[in-house]
Structure 1
Amino acid sequence: MNEELRQNADGCYGQAEQRAKDYFHSLSQKLTQKDYVPGLIHDIQTWKQDHLHHSLLNRFTRGKSNANSRGYYHYIQWLDYIGKLDQYLDRSISYIFMRDLGKDLNFPDTQHRIQNAVNGLKDYLKQADHQSELFSMAGLYRWAQKEGVESSLFWLIDKLKTVSKQIPKEMDAEEAKRKLIKLIAGVIMHQIEELGNQVSAEERARKLDIAIRLGYSYGLTYPFIDDLLDANILSDQEEERYSDIIRTTLVSGSVPDLGEWKGENKDLMQFVHAELREAFTYIKKHQRLETRTSFFEQAYVFFHSQEVDRDKDLSYAHYSNEELYIPVIIKSSSSRLIVRSVISAPEDEGFDRRTFYYGIYNQLADDFADMFDDMKEGRVTPYTYFLKYHDQRKDLINPFELYWTVIFNLIHNVYDSDPKTCEVILNRAINGLKRFKERMGVQMYNELMNLFTANISKLNKFVQKMVRKAEDVDFFDKLLRDHILTGLKNERIERQEFLDTIENVREQINELLSIAKTNSVMSEPISEAANYSLEGGGKRLRPIITWVMGVHEYGLEKTAIAPLLKSLEYMHNASLIFDDLPSQDDAAIRRGRRTLHEVYNTAIAELTGLFLTQKAVEEQTTLDAFDAKTVLSLIQYSSRITAEMCKGQAMDLGSKGKPLTLEQLNMMSYYKTGMAFEAALIMPAILAHVEEDEMNALKTFAYHAGIAFQIKDDLLDVEGNLIILGKPVGQDEENQNTTFVSILGREGARKAMWEHYCFASDALERIPKNTAFMKHLLDYLINRDH
């Protein structure tokens, strides 16, 4: 590494370090003299007037609703009902403007922007349905569509999907993804704030497109630098080499080659290096020359401060207070300062000053909440170190006392005693203690408070009274954080359950499908050919859907609906046999094997298709657990659907080599694919005597899910892999077939697919059943690679 560059980088860190030392000494002096205590007591006494309620209504409503991740909808509705939603959102948005955007809440322009944000969020939350996710993929796509950044969203979805697969199991995958999402949102927020309201829609879309990609590029450093180096996954030698690569990159502005990586984590590090190199290159490309230096300096200062902290050993009993707190001040401020340099925002002395002084407040609050997790992992933070050595080291600064010192300094010296700022910061502090007390339990909480507040008992008396009795101190971002974490964990569990269900049910269905040969003195190839077709594998999606809906949602017996499952798969295989015939698609490969007419001949294939069609009807007639009228209704429905699907195939054949309109292609996709999904949903519903409204919602879901499925097939035909797909790619273009890709292009096809995804998601909200399986099915349909 160039020595001059290293010296410049170290010089930047030295300046940051000196600034942090000056700040720390100022705080230490206030803490020692305890001159902040009377001021904070006065602040709390003033603040409590709006947070201690004694009316009959509040006694009745206290505890009626909780701000938890599962009941967010009801909590929001409850706040609106009792007239506190505006206040709740105002303090929440104000806090985000202060913490993430570095704004002064006393500025009229900031107040105006906060009010606009509150109104917009309030409208969104009040319109949300109780069954819908707070921020669903459908909702996210609708936002991207409104802003004209759908392409950026597609790119981001692909990136997040890839990264999720690479996060080592030793790391907290949900927390890593949450941090990444938070960083992306933070960069977007900064960009929106910089844009203002006067920019054109085209320029806004262009800037947001860049911000999404910059947010991902910057946010990627958290799981793949911070978390990876903290997770004890890499060996000491690997950590040292990886840190050298990062340091060299930030000092020189160029990513060095990875070279040959020795160790157990070779594959992981090759992926991480490639992804971070791409991210770094993108950030560098979009840096203005006048802000590029600032970006590299801030990034180096941030990384080096983390390295200094990371190298500490909790077993070492002689760290000075400066050694404990200076890196914390530096990293907590520089992490937020980087964001503005990432988007090449102009320098803002007010933002810089507020962010620098604010950082340690947020870090101390986080370290307090995480102290026992940090202690378990052996991490050195002001709290873990104080817990371990406070009896041996009387010189150690109490981090909880410093926390309140920082709060006083922010309120009165940084934000000039602004009442709104005081209100928000005290709300946040009390809320943090309430959440910690609830999580740790009263006994543990009281023991910790006795330790941490021994020297500030007078202040603590007021604080603990607020922790016990104060109301209206919760925040939307905490609700959102809990919701996202719970959602990610539930999504992982539900996705695994979905995959397990598919695999288990598929195995059960496969055991049902084999057709016994008839006793005959002559060779009988039809049953043999039918079994060849049925043994070819396949996703078995349609009978799986029927099994899940019938058994899980409608309570039907597995054995009772077994004939229906066989019927659906027989019908589906028959359609594939006909589809592959020389007179139709003339396909040579299906599911990675030779098609039936290639193995036997065209006549046998045609007869086998007819044979399976009739076997499907025969199976339906054996649904003995249901009354005859219900079974007859099912057979009538099945026959009509089969006839319609034949029309759809005829439409497909008639369209070969001919241009189609999008409307015609949608109709054909519905007939060919959507109807099969519909049958898988409606047939068990018929057996369960489901209400008409639910039937209609199921049909709507099937219509849009079927078209989305077909669009994905068209995309896979131009983007897929022969080995994974089990059939050649590029067939549609070779055969001059009209597809969604040929009409709309790849990007337009993706947009159409997500549009149908949104409509299908909307339909699920009208179904009064547990739709987790259906949601994951929909996700599977558009995210599959085969």
Structure 2
Amino acid sequence: MNVAYTDYADTGYRQAEQKAAQYFASLHVRVQDKSYVPILTEDILLWKRKHVHRQSWLSSIMPAKKKPDNRDYHRYIGWLNYTGELDDYLDRSISYIYMRDMGLALDSPDTKERIRRVVANTKKLLVRSIGTKEGDTPDFMSLAGLYRWAQKEGIETAVIWVINKLKHVASHIPDKMDAEQAQRKLIKIIVGVVMHVMEDMNGETLPAERSARLDDAIRLGYSYGLTYPFIDDLLDSGVLNAKEKEQYSHMIRQALLTGTVPELGQWSGKNMELVHFVHQELRDAFEYIQGRQRPETKQTFFEQSNVFFHSQHVDRIKDLANPNYTNEELYLPIILKSSSSRLIVRSVISAAADEGFEDRTFYYGIYNQLADDFADMYQDMNDGAVTPYTYYLKYRGQRQDLINPFELYWAVISHLIHNVYHSDAKTREVMLDRAINGLKRCKERVGTEKYNEIMDIFASGNPEFNRLIQQMVRKADQVDFLDKLLRDQMVTVLRNERKEKEYFIDTFKTVRDEINRHLQIAKTPGIPPMKESLIDAANYSLEGDGKRLRPILTWVMAVKEYGLQASAIVPLLKSLEYMHTASLIFDDLPSQDNASTRRGRPTLHQVHDSATAEITGLFLIQKAIEEQSSLEGFDPKSVLKLIQYSSQRAGDMCSGQAMDLNSKGMALSLEQLNTVCYYKTGIAFEASLVMPAILAQVKETEIAILKKFAYHAGIAFQIQDDLLDVQGNVEQLGKPGGQDAENNTSTFVSILGQEGASRQMWDHYCQAMEALQEMPRNTAFLKHLLNYMVNRER
């Protein structure tokens, strides 16, 4: 370790701590002499004029459109738009983000113009998003919406990279941590860094430079944001034991002091795999951030990072059982960590800042931290965490010297409005909106009785002031914020997606097991020996570890969406898998792809011979038609229509395979490859969707949507297959990798390269998702099927 740099880092921390101590001392005085009360009282009375109105006699007799729950995204945005309040809602929301995240002063003409522009653009986005189906994820929160934005900005590669990274991180978040909140915070940081970079650019920034800077912002945002789930949250959780936390914290501090991530050292036990993953990810992230620092900002970055981590550490190791912490010990670390976390973002992206940025950011942090700690105080008490609120709750009866954090919170607000933001009216408006909204949300969350208990504890020292505050909590309106709505919506989306994914996996497994029980072809008594061996060969191919995607998809659509009887469609499920398995047998033949392994086992022609394989394929096609003709309980015309459709599609699949064989050694165009892919793969997905729709006699318009979805989903599936062929191995795939190159077959990868193929896959993913938006029924399973298709590893 560089001793000189260690001394410098410690000096930097002491200087920051000294500034925090001076700030805290001034706040302490305001609390003691209650000088903030008359000033804020006047502020609130001015603010009240806009937010508390007497009900007119006309409104008492005219029914108004009922205000929906502000956690219901679609209805709430629609209501704000309907009532004309959306502009004001967005103005205070965007203003708050500029003040909190950007560190900007709201009285600046330039900032006002930026806010006006962002409000107008955001309004268009939100109004457009409420036109989607009820319950659907807003476009700007969906993968499809994200990728469409990436295409517009020319940063597809970065977005594909971060999608894969987020997926990887999500799969490694331990059970003892809140996965949804961890993902939300990571996404929030990425968005915040992107916002900073976008604000640093203007209309004169060239498109190529804009794309390059946004690409870098996404990677920097991820790299910096990764510290929250895998440093902050991990150390706060009970995942690591005390010894592991000490070792892990020492490693982080050493990296910040030396500029080099140390080797992991000796780890063992149940957390070994997690720690190895986290160490690798954080090392890559650290090196990426470090590599993007300009020489003149690198020292600032490390200094601020050290202040942030050390203050977090000092705060984290406090013990709630210790009754002797001073006020300074309670408050200085949170002043430091809350301010340095925001200062780091600017140094991470090496962005310029105006003259007052550092002071505004430094003084502002504790305001947010005290608001967050107030909201989380009972959860923090349960976790044994020391915050100003938990400590005051526990020791207020025996420690008369303890500062009431709720009173300090209002003193901070007064100081910010009048001493930091120079009594700016817009700042006063936004900060009081936020404060009253936080209390409203608390009251709604815990209930009136519990809320009153909380206020009796924390607000009893200023009865007149508290009566005014509680009047505002009861009566004031138009104080909610977009970031809270989006946070709630994002957590809801992530939780719903997790539940839907769990349902998808459970359904997939259950239906797959059920299908596997029916697939084997029975041997009837007295059959000829040759037919018996043919059935054995067919059953060998059917026994392989197949995904059964197509019959599973048919089962879900038939049973869950169209209400058909599960037992009645068993012949259809069998026919689909028989047809699919037959196509694989033909595909694997030496005269075609000459594959040696399929579904984790030797191919049929390897076990027997090519002739047996060919005959078995024909036998399975005949069995598929037989099963379809045995469908009972359906309109005969529909069954006949289904068989005709199935035969036509089987013929199309043969045409696709012929195209594929004829193209070997040829460099196909993208259009030609899409055609081959559709005929070989997309048609099979289409049949899985359309056949149950035919039996259910749904409208042709819906069938057309299903075909559109299947076309794009099938191509996306095939592109992922092509990518896996060059990236995977036999253990992952159940078949050898590199087969396409060996067979001189044109693929999306051979034509476009891996990066270009990934872009095409995500474009077809978007088109498939957009097709689902036209569906008149629930599409959650199809969405997760599509996500499975593009994210699978085999």
TM-score (norm: length of structure 1): 0.98
Distance 1:57 1:735, change over 3 A: farther
Shift of 1:262: 4.1
Residue 78 (1) aligns with residue 85 (2)? no
Q: Identity across aligned pairs (percent)?
A: 61
Q: Secondary structure of the equivalent of 2:585?
A: helix
Shift of 1:48: 1.6
- Mapped contact 1:517–1:528 kept (Cα < 8 A): no
Distance 1:465 1:62, change over 3 A: farther
The Cα offsets for residues 322-363 of structure 1, whole Å up to 9 and x where unpaired, read as: 111111111110110000000112354311011111100000
Residue 176 (1) aligns with residue 182 (2)? yes
CA distance in 1 between counterparts of 2:352 and 2:52 reads 43
Matched residue, 2:466: 460
Matched residue, 2:314: 308
CA distance in 2 between counterparts of 1:394 and 1:62 reads 50
CA distance in 2 between counterparts of 1:114 and 1:724 reads 50
- Mapped contact 2:635–2:695 kept (Cα < 8 A): no
Shift of 1:520: 2.9
Q: Which amino acid aligns with 2:174?
A: P
Structure 2: state its 5+ residue gaps.
none
CA distance in 2 between counterparts of 1:761 and 1:46 reads 49
Residue 520 (1) aligns with residue 527 (2)? yes
Matches within 5 A, 1:356-371: 356-371=362-377
Q: Which amino acid aligns with 1:736?
A: N
Residue 29 (1) aligns with residue 37 (2)? no
CA distance in 2 between counterparts of 1:318 and 1:731 reads 69
Q: Secondary structure of the equivalent of 2:104?
A: coil
Matched residue, 1:500: 506
Shift of 1:63: 4.5
Matched residue, 2:386: 380
Shift of 1:603: 1.9
- Mapped contact 1:74–1:130 kept (Cα < 8 A): no
- Mapped contact 1:191–1:207 kept (Cα < 8 A): yes
Distance 1:522 1:733, change over 3 A: closer
Matched residue, 2:415: 409
Q: Secondary structure of the equivalent of 1:548?
A: helix
Shift of 1:660: 1.2
Matched residue, 2:491: 485
Matched residue, 1:191: 197
Residue 274 (1) aligns with residue 275 (2)? no
Shift of 1:677: 0.5
CA distance in 2 between counterparts of 1:212 and 1:490 reads 25
Matches within 5 A, 1:235-634: 235-346=241-352, 348-518=354-524, 519-520=526-527, 522-523=529-530, 524-634=532-642
Q: Which amino acid aligns with 2:22?
A: D
CA distance in 1 between counterparts of 2:353 and 2:104 reads 14
CA distance in 2 between counterparts of 1:66 and 1:265 reads 42
Shift of 1:521: 5.2
Q: Which amino acid aligns with 1:65?
A: P
Shift of 1:64: 2.8
Deviates more, 1:479-488 or 1:688-697: 688-697
Q: Which amino acid aligns with 1:679?
A: A
- Mapped contact 2:545–2:600 kept (Cα < 8 A): no
- Mapped contact 2:769–2:783 kept (Cα < 8 A): yes
Matched residue, 1:166: 172
Matched residue, 1:96: 97
- Mapped contact 1:543–1:565 kept (Cα < 8 A): yes
The Cα offsets for residues 567-603 of structure 1, whole Å up to 9 and x where unpaired, read as: 1111111111111122222222111211112212222
CA distance in 1 between counterparts of 2:649 and 2:529 reads 36
CA distance in 2 between counterparts of 1:154 and 1:722 reads 25
CA RMSD across the alignment: 1.3
Select 1:654's aligned residue among 662, 666, 671.
662
Shift of 1:66: 1.8
Q: Secondary structure of the equivalent of 2:765?
A: helix
- Mapped contact 1:374–1:380 kept (Cα < 8 A): yes
Structure 1: state its 5+ residue gaps.
none
Shift of 1:736: 1.4
Matched residue, 1:133: 137
TM-score (norm: length of structure 2): 0.97
Q: Which amino acid aligns with 1:443?
A: E
Distance 1:461 1:531, change over 3 A: same
Q: Which amino acid aligns with 1:111?
A: K
Q: Which amino acid aligns with 2:544?
A: G
CA distance in 1 between counterparts of 2:8 and 2:256 reads 11
- Mapped contact 1:566–1:616 kept (Cα < 8 A): yes
Q: Secondary structure of the equivalent of 1:438?
A: helix
Matched residue, 2:70: 67
Q: Which amino acid aligns with 1:38?
A: P
Shift of 1:730: 1.2
Shift of 1:689: 1.3
The Cα offsets for residues 682-726 of structure 1, whole Å up to 9 and x where unpaired, read as: 111111111222111111100000011111111111111221101
CA distance in 2 between counterparts of 1:64 and 1:336 reads 35
- Mapped contact 1:309–1:380 kept (Cα < 8 A): yes
CA distance in 1 between counterparts of 2:213 and 2:63 reads 49
Matched residue, 2:720: 712
Shift of 1:91: 0.8
Deviates more, 1:698-707 or 1:248-257: 248-257
- Mapped contact 1:238–1:263 kept (Cα < 8 A): no
Residue 124 (1) aligns with residue 121 (2)? no
The Cα offsets for residues 54-113 of structure 1, whole Å up to 9 and x where unpaired, read as: 245598447531211xx3122111111111111111111111000000011111111111
CA distance in 2 between counterparts of 1:80 and 1:347 reads 35
Q: Secondary structure of the equivalent of 1:166?
A: coil
- Mapped contact 2:678–2:715 kept (Cα < 8 A): yes
Shift of 1:486: 1.1
Distance 1:347 1:44, change over 3 A: closer
Residue 224 (1) aligns with residue 230 (2)? yes
- Mapped contact 1:291–1:346 kept (Cα < 8 A): no
The Cα offsets for residues 407-435 of structure 1, whole Å up to 9 and x where unpaired, read as: 11111111111111111111111111111
